Amino acid sequence: MQLKLRHLEVFDALLEAGSVSRAAERLNLTQPAVSIALSNLEADLGFRLFHRERGYFAPTGEAMLLHSEVAQGLRAISRVTQRAEEIRSGTTGTVSIATNGALAINFLPALVADYQKHNPGVGIEVRVHSSRQIASWVGVRQIDIGLIDLPVPVAGLNADVYLLECVCVMSGNDPLSAVDVVSPRALQGRSVVGVTGDHTVDRQLERMLSDTGTTVTRTVSGYFFAIARNIVAAGNDVAIIDPINGKAKLNDGVTWRPFAPRIDHELAVITAKDKPIGQAAAALHAQICRALDAYK
């Protein structure tokens, strides 16, 4: 015996409404359609569900025994339908993101919080690791979205590339804060915080310093741009860092100035190429890209 969902909906509506006319109105059906559906259900079940005499319409004992199971089944189907819609629209599920650190402190936390205001049913996992490891994770679908430095070290990935113009950060009372644009020569004799790991930003700066014959002191370095900014805030150093961490308003006494010639932080937002990411991940990916567009 295979029962039809519409027949069960008619049965539930009849028992709840108490008459064929009210059940038909509730289901937006005609009264004959409701009567036919009820007759078909009774035929499938092999027993009567309602007493139907002139001027009298009432559920049978068998109907009362069956109704709780039908009601629970219809609620379960409703929940399945709702969850499927949530999955389709991207308002439920889990999204995993990994970053090499540049965006872990002053970018992703606020963005994730804003995303969850509109998608409270979506779980978010944020990991921090090396660019190579993140690319490997994304390639095998262990991570939905990766934020890494260029070049992308693994094939088979989609990459949205962003060149973010770096700035020079210094304390608010530093003499450099009085200039409109900081040049390599303006760093002569200064202590400049480095970025650990032979970072491309440091390599670009070193070439400019060499070309201009400028000598700086490199006595301290940090693995993240945010750490470099914290070092600047705590001492008399300066640093060339990405605009997201450099321009963040943190009330830490640090200010920033443009740096010329231009130095870029080369960033890629990566996803797996072989299979599309889910709706929830796609929505968060789009939000990340829109936020990064503001720093181009």
Give how far Cα 233 sits from Cα of 150, 169, 174, 238, 287, Å.
28, 9, 11, 9, 30
The CATH number of residue 285's host domain is 3.40.190.10
Residue 79 counted as domain residue: yes
Domain identity same for 98 and 76: no
Domain identity same for 85 and 121: no
Per-residue buried b or exposed e for 18-45, using 16+ beta carbons within 10 Å of the residue's own CB: eebeebbebbebeeeebbebbeebbeeb
pLDDT of residue 82: 67
Domain identity same for 257 and 277: no
Q: How many domains, in total, are found in the chain?
A: 3
List the one residue out of 2, 4, 8, 6 whose CA is nearest residue 69: 8
Give how far Cα 236 sits from Cα of 171, 192, 250, Å.
7, 9, 18
pLDDT of residue 80: 81
List the one residue out of 270, 282, 292, 295 whose CA is nearest residue 151: 270
Q: Report the C-alpha gap between 159 and 147 in whole angstroms.
A: 9
The DSSP code for 74 is H
What would the pLDDT profile of 47-64 be if each residue is shown by its tens digit? 999 998 877 889 999 999
Domain identity same for 76 and 27: yes
Domain identity same for 230 and 243: yes
pLDDT of residue 195: 83
Domain identity same for 65 and 203: no
pLDDT of residue 219: 87
Domain identity same for 192 and 257: yes
Q: Report the C-alpha gap between 81 and 230 in whole angstroms.
A: 49
What would the pLDDT profile of 175-199 be if each residue is shown by its tens digit? 999 999 999 999 999 999 998 767 8
pLDDT of residue 91: 60
Residue type, 131: S
pLDDT of residue 274: 82
The pTM score is 0.70
Tokens of 213: 């014959």
Residue 295 counted as domain residue: no
The CATH number of residue 20's host domain is 1.10.10.10
Residue 144 counted as domain residue: yes
Residue 76 counted as domain residue: yes
Residue 9 counted as domain residue: yes
Domain identity same for 146 and 171: no
Domain identity same for 70 and 206: no
Q: What is the mean pLDDT of the chain?
A: 91
Range of the domain at 215: 167-262
The DSSP code for 198 is T
Q: Residue 269 — φ and ψ, nearest 5°?
A: -100, 115
Which of the residues in the chain have pLDDT under 50?
none
pLDDT of residue 296: 79
